[in-house]
Amino acid sequence: MHVLLAILSGILFAAGVWLILRRSLARLVLGLILLSQAANLVIFTSGGLHRAAPPIVGENATALEAPYADPLPQALILTAIVISFGLFAFFLVLIKRAHQETGTDDIDAMSEVET
């Protein structure tokens, strides 16, 4: 399972890098989104993969019963997802505005507009 997920995150990284090397801004955003998913997958994998109960304390219990899954990597990923949601939302607005202003989706052409 570890190997499979490692390969999968490798593929995601490769695809993300390929996309951000394009000149089109829309692909740039897609590439960054793929990369952030790959990063999340790496955290998930390195947090350890094994079958275990969810880390929720039962109705009448006071402590967790082992074996339970480590909740921290998931908390990290959740936070990272929330943050990248915010960032990408901003980024999309930026690209839309940039496209409106400069009339191009091409980063090089956009730099030429710059005086």
Partner 1 sequence: MNALILRISARYLSPILIGVSVLLLLRGHNDPGGGFIGGLLAASAMSLLALAHGTASARRSLRVDPRTLIAVGLLLALTSGFPALFGGREWLTGMWTLPELPLIGAIPLGTPLWFDVGIYISVVGFTLTIVFALSENDEEEAV
Partner 2 sequence: MNLLIVLPVLLPLLTGVGTLLLRSSTRIQHVVSITGSAGFLASAILLLVRLRDGGILAVQLGNWPAPFGITFVADLFSALMVLLTAVIGFTVALYSIAAIDLPRIRYGYHPLLHFLLMGVSGAFLTGDMFNLYVWFEVMLIASFVLLVLGGEKAQFAGAVKYVTVNLLASMLFLIGAGVLYGKTGTLNFADLAFKLAQNPEPALVNTSAILFLVAFGIKAAVFPFFFWLPDSYHVPPAAVTALFSGLLTKVGVYALMRTFSMIFIHDMDFTGPLFLVLAGLTMVIGVFGAVAQGEMKRLLSFHIVSQIGYALMGLGIFTQLALSGAIYFTLHVAIAKAALFFVVGYVARRRGHTNLARLGGLLRESPLVAVLFLLAALSLAGLPPFSGFFAKFTLIKAGLEASQYAIVAVALLVSMMTLFSMTKIWNEAFWKDAPERMDTDARVPAPYLQAGDKWLYILPIILLVGITIVMGLAAEPILQMTGRAAEQLLDPAPYIRQVLGRMP
Q: Is 55 helix (H, G, I), strand (E, B) or coil?
A: coil
In the block, tokens 């999309």 appear at 92
Please choose which of partner 2, partner 1, none residue 7 contacts, taking the beta carbon within 5 to 8 angstroms, the exact cut-off set by kind: none
Q: Is 108 helix (H, G, I), strand (E, B) or coil?
A: helix
Cα 98 from Cα 40, distance rounded (Å) = 29
Q: Is 68 helix (H, G, I), strand (E, B) or coil?
A: strand
If binding is defined by CB under 8 A, does position 92 make contact with partner 1? yes
Residues in 38-77 at the binding interface with partner 2, rule: CB under 8 A: 39-40, 42-48, 72-73, 76
Shortest separation between residue 29's beta carbon and partner 1, angstroms: 13
Shortest separation between residue 94's beta carbon and partner 2, angstroms: 6
In the block, tokens 């960032």 appear at 87
CB 88 within 8 A of CB 33: yes
Interface with partner 2 (CB under 8 A): 20, 25, 28, 32, 35-36, 39-40, 42-48, 72-73, 76, 79-80, 83, 86-87, 90-91, 94-95, 97-98, 101-102, 107, 110-111, 113-115
